[in-house]
Amino acid sequence: MERIWLASYPPGVPPDVDTDAYASLAEMFDRSVARFAGLPAFSNLGRTLTFAETGAYVAAFAAFLHGRLGLARGDRIAVMLPNLLQHPVVTFGALRAGCVVVNVNPLYTARELQLQLADSGAVAIVVLENFAHVLADVLDRTAIRHVVTTAMGDLLEPLRRHLVNFTVRHLKRAVPPYHLPGAIGLPAALADGARLTHEPPRLSHDDLAFLQYTGGTTGGSKAAMLTHGNLVANVEQIAAWLHPYVGEGQELIITALPLYHVFALTANCLVFVRIGGRNHLITDPRDLAGFVRELARLRFTGITGVNTLFRALLDTPGFAELDFGTMKMALGGGMAVQRAVAERWHTVTGSALVEAYGLTEASPAVCMNPLDLARYNGKIGLPIPSTECAIRAADGRELPPGEAGELCVRGPQVMRGYWNRREETRAVLDAGGWLHTGDIGRMDAQGYIEIVDRKKDLILVSGFNVYPNEIEEVVAAHPDVLEVAAVGVPDPDSGEAIKLFVVPRSEALEQDTLIAWCRRNLTGYKIPRYVEFRDELPKSPVGKILRRSLREQG
């Protein structure tokens, strides 16, 4: 196929990357530690770890896993941590030991945790003590043999460590009682590992690195098998795209999205380790006032997030007064960036909110806009180096520019398949290596791709296709709307009707006002029939509005 998008590439971005640059993520990490030893790698809660300090912790944890716990290459280890210094230490330590990381949302209920641990077959887990009681409830129904617990301040300097841990345990009472016989604390594990010698296994691109759980394109939660080769390729692809705009050893990226999510895992943690940047970890981005105070103390050069996070920051007092003079990049992904949010962002910060696109099954990055984009363009960007994208009809035909169809992706970052789900793998990965994303998109003559909507979110009104993204874009532009989701609900006359779920900015906002707004901006069959006002909308852990949950609620 002709890669028409290459003609639109920014100067300095190659059409392809060297996917063999590193044999594994462990090798990539070790080489960055050697190159950038004295530079800051991760900062959080008042402490900054250099690459050398991070490397020492990582080596100790890897030695502990192998020499003390007896974990072998390919064993699965669950990581149930928020954004703390412990997260990259444990993750890279597990990878260095040849283990497969199973990222776990720390806010999981006991049922959700038990299902994921059982499905993955994890034999060890690292858990923040705040959530250890949930693990204790399900431990006997899993394959877990080894538990490592950690407290919030465990990797901070001694005085601050004691202060933070005392506050969390005794003043905030944020650590419910738990009973986990035989569990070892992370500080003891690191001290033990530092006394051991460990020869890391020789890993290759074929070794599994992560079982990354996702709702996927076909239904319930399942694990994408992401190999070291997949993630090395995606890191190199993203690094090549960023190269004209960022400098090695010079960047400070704000990491507010959770590292257990593939967006922050790759785009923030892995990529900025690769280029010698500093990840500043935000442990609780829901504390927006605290988040803005933290930003005020930093001369950050980049930030990633989802639409809801950027909107929330814009609505937080003090954000507009920050100094954005050093910011080179604001990258939105995970869900559609809405025009109203992007335009406000540009007005407040003076820089574009650049949209990118990816999915867990692709490690995740697939498309990205140039970082020097003057203004929001409504597109997810161009396929990144070494990536092919095609828009296909239902019968598999490749469609020409301008026509809408399913976005299909092929490249070295595409997963091996779903863990223990052969049929579901076949449903999304065809014989030619193409990943069928389930997203409806169109490509223009310059190769820029626009996502029209999710295939499964499509609303059919009297035979007409209605895309929720378009409806939400219009409604979100109303000055009294804070958040909105559009879904299809059964209708005896039209098959489906459009229903809005709206979080208003003003209590004075009424249904008739919104319907009239839609009539001025949308054709007849796209006008919502129903409006339900809510105090909040259901969201995923990274803030993505869950339309499926709203559809089920009617």
User: Boundaries of CATH 3.30.300.30 in the chain?
Assistant: 458-553
Whether the CB-CB separation of 310 and 301 falls below 8 Å is answered with: no
- What is the longest distance spanned by two Cα atoms in the chain? 73
Rounded mean pLDDT, 232-258: 97
Per DSSP bridges, beta strands 464-466 and 459-461 are antiparallel
CATH class of 458-553: alpha beta
Number of other CB atoms surrounding residue 393 within 10 Å: 12
Q: Which two tokens stand for residue 235?
A: 């890191």
Whether the CB-CB separation of 514 and 435 falls below 8 Å is answered with: no
User: Boundaries of CATH 3.40.50.12780 in the chain?
Assistant: 233-454
Coil, strand or helix at 461 = strand
CATH of domain 24-36+46-203: 3.40.50.980
150-179: per-residue pLDDT in tens?
999 999 999 999 999 999 999 999 999 999
pLDDT the model gives residue 358: 95
Q: CA-to-CA distance for 376 and 452, rounded, in angstroms? A: 16
Q: Within 13 Å and on the Cβ side, how many CA atoms surround 477? A: 12
User: Boundaries of CATH 3.40.50.980 in the chain?
Assistant: 24-36+46-203
Rounded mean pLDDT, 336-360: 94
CATH of domain 233-454: 3.40.50.12780
Q: Which two tokens stand for residue 49?
A: 């770890």
- 49 or 493: whose pLDDT is higher? 49
498-531: per-residue pLDDT in tens?
999 999 999 999 999 999 999 998 888 899 999 9
Coil, strand or helix at 273 = helix
201-243: per-residue pLDDT in tens?
999 999 999 999 985 434 457 999 999 999 999 999 999 999 9
pLDDT the model gives residue 494: 77
Question: Is the confidence at residue 467, as pLDDT, over 90?
Answer: no
pLDDT the model gives residue 465: 74
Q: Nearest CA to 242 among 258, 377, 358, 250? A: 250
pLDDT the model gives residue 522: 86
pLDDT the model gives residue 363: 98
pLDDT the model gives residue 215: 57
Q: Which two tokens stand for residue 495?
A: 């098959």
529-553: per-residue pLDDT in tens?
999 999 999 998 788 899 988 988 8
